[in-house]
Amino acid sequence: MEGSKAGSFKQMLLGIDATTEEEYASQSRLLQEFTGISSIDKAWIFKSDSGIGSQAMFLISQPNLLANKRKKFILSSHVLRESNNSVNFQWAQFPVEMTGVSAMVPSPSGAKLLVVRDPEKESPCQFEIWVRAQVEKEFHIPLSVHGSVYADGLFQGISWNSDETLIAYVAEEPCPSKPTFTGQGYKNSTSADKDFGNWTGQGDWKEEWGETYAGKQQAALFVMNINSGETQAVKGIEKSLSVGQVVWAPPVRGSHQYLVFVGWSEGTRKLGIKYCFNRPCALYAARAPNFESEADGPELKDSSTEDSPVVILSQSITSALYPQFSPDGKFLLFLSARSAVDSGVHSATDSLHIIDWPMDGVLSSSTKIVDVIPVVMCAEDGYFPGLYCSSFLSNPWLSDGCTMILSSIWGSCQVILSVNVLSGEVLRISPTDSNFSWNVLSLDGDNIIAVSSSPVDVPHIKYGYLVDKESKDTAWSWLNVSRPTNACSDKVESLLSSLQFSILKIPIRDVSYCLTKGATKPFEAIFVSTKTKRSDPCDPLIVFLHGGPHIVSLSSFSKSLAFLSSIGFNLLIVNYRGSLGFGEEALQSLPGNIGSQDVNDVLVAIDHVIDMGLASPSKIAVLGGSHGGFLTTHLIGQAPDKFAAAATRNPACNLALMVGTTDIPDWCYVEAYGSEGKNTFTEAPSAEHLTLFHRKSPISHSSKVKTPTLILLGAQDVRLPVFTGLQYARALKEKGVPVKVIVFPNDTHAIERPKSDFESFLNIGVSFKKYLS
């Protein structure tokens, strides 16, 4: 009796019964094992001192739930190519944790390593120059010079010059001065009064680049002399320009050194830039600062201290990203997201271009831009679907000087491509018979170090080499690389070994309205299931929907989705039309048709697996975040009897509310109106606009919803502010629909802090078990 009372009291406090509590305990133990799987993020290759083989350095990360951060480690290996076409990685005994490190950039020769450490609040930024056995130099850059270094995202950029004496990088401008007040009123900046009793005002509000950039100052360009530690801002750049992705131009004897970088102009306002490649940008060239001659430092022959004009190198194109010089310095290559900029969608099919670089150092803004890879509108089955590339390696070139290696999306897979930038020839060099996803990490001469994974296989390192360099045969062979430790626990490995996956082609159902050829082709879905036959015909099905909408769910390993597969759910991961990787026509078919075409594609995919006998109609849940949450909440409203449970993270539930509060109001116009949305966009929506936004939104179907729904929200989200999801939750509660809401106070749009991500998927797993068992 006493135990029963204690149990009832606990249930009253926690809001869960004993069965659910046991489910929480069981699933949390397993989820911790999945969470502990490390990720291979980057790799660098260095020449070996002995001249035999190479030295590899891998950056590995792992969530630390207790600290609520990601730990970063460096693990080293000696790489030996054997005579029998095998490769031997001799791993260091232990990794080394890189505490507080925001960036690591080796010098071109590999003799030096720049390590940048995040400053504590109100502390200077710390630069360390490492050589083989020690920290050679350490510099602390005061906040009066600049703030934190931009080490990730579009603004990141750190580059050594060719003689390894100067480092160019992007950092936050110093904080602008704010007004100071005393008991007597305003304090003049020249006042000699003591600070006792003073207080600082807020000063003018300034636009920011939205999601994840809140509170950050303008991205500006700096150069450090590593011999003296002197740091200077690059002059001549307009204050309205945010910069990133800096590289040094090839040196010209007797001429000043130049920097090439990407610049984004804020226009009338800064719209959100995270995940948004539709922001116009251009390549610029600026003269590097002139440091005074030192005995052990660089001496610049042009001693002019006047500002030199900044040259726009890509005036004839609306987007230019990731500048990269050829090994001989004769041309400058860059990626363009002009399809996104010109159409207004946040991401689209990329193109690749080159500019001839003047060997005399005389720059011109009228240089001809040559297409290497144009935008692919519609590819035939099995052929290159277009370029979808998020960045380049720091050195992507093979020894011929004209072939670069990069990763790109091909349908539902990530693949490795070789691109001859002179002929435009594109070859898929990762295995064509594999549905795994492949990502290039580094080049070891003319060989490739990559990582390969699938929804049911943890990442493994691969080593690729050209089978016959002397012939015209372009076949690549890929070797397995032994891991230094087990990739996962024995329990996780056993669970994953019981799973399988396939990529399904889903024919579209309705071709009655006017569609381009690319939009009539089948879309894809990744299906993950158990290999074991069970008494029940089908395991419960989770339909997973990516956000964007113009991104893609890849056939790579996801710890969270693998966890859900391992607790008894099949997965249907739908890449509806509008996803990346299928050509531009299919992608551009979605704007103007959100809430209908994408919803119908998902319903068609579900019916497809039901008809194949892979899913039971009565045991289906739906899960998605952002635009995936838009679809999730649309589906439970438009097909109220189809889903037994739903879960969503930061969903777009009401575009009429979103348009006035988000950092990307233009998204609402482009996705709701289609091709005319870019020009229709205004900061003052009309009643007609708001009516259309409401009609396109899930909240217009909320009165029909019956499905128990879990809603996960980040309180710091500026893309879909928290009250967007709360409004939808309250609308469901008003109708008596079971709703559970969890708000993570310190998370942004992605809800990716380790504790938040853990609690999110634990609750998803427990909720779906409850309603689908």
Q: How far is CA 294 from CA 137, 299, 351, 773, in A?
A: 17, 7, 44, 74
8 Å CB contact between 381 and 274: no
State which residues of the chain have pLDDT below 50. 1-13, 293-305
Q: How far apart are CA 461 and CA 43, in angstroms?
A: 11
346 is catalytic: no
Phi, psi dihedrals of residue 13, rounded to the nearest 5°? -75, -45
Active-site entry in 539, 717, 747, 757:
717
Beta carbons within 10 angstroms of residue 740's beta carbon = 14
Strand partners of residue 369: 355
607 is catalytic: no
Q: How far is CA 473 from CA 445, 470, 561, in A?
A: 19, 8, 39
pLDDT tens by residue, 698-745 = 999 999 999 999 999 999 999 999 999 999 999 999 999 999 999 999
Return the H-helix or E-strand segment holding 101.
strand 101-106
8 Å CB contact between 74 and 98: yes
717 is catalytic: yes
Q: Specify the pLDDT at position 190.
A: 61
Expressed in angstroms, the distance from the first to the final Cα of the chain is 30
pLDDT tens by residue, 130-157 = 998 899 999 999 999 999 999 988 999 9
Identify the DSSP state of 772. H
Q: Which residue, 638, 652, 640, 647, is CA-closest to 542?
A: 647
Paired tokens of 75: 């693990």
* CA 546 from centre of chain: 13
Q: How far is CA 698 from CA 355, 362, 599, 645, 732, in A?
A: 46, 56, 11, 16, 11
Active-site entry in 146, 346, 701, 749:
749
Q: Specify the pLDDT at position 472.
A: 64
Q: Rounded to the nearest 5 degrees, what angle is found at the Cα of 379, between the Cα atoms of 347 and 578?
A: 35
If you search the block for the tokens 């005061």, which residue do you land on? 142
Paired tokens of 200: 């600082």
Active-site entry in 76, 452, 626, 760:
626
Q: What is the mean pLDDT of the chain?
A: 92
Q: How far apart are CA 249 and CA 242, in angstroms?
A: 20
Burial state string for 318-334 with b = 16 or more CB within 10 A and e = fewer than 16 = bbbbbbbbbeeeebbbb
Q: Specify the pLDDT at position 471.
A: 66
8 Å CB contact between 276 and 347: yes
Q: How far apart are CA 222 and CA 233, in angstroms?
A: 4
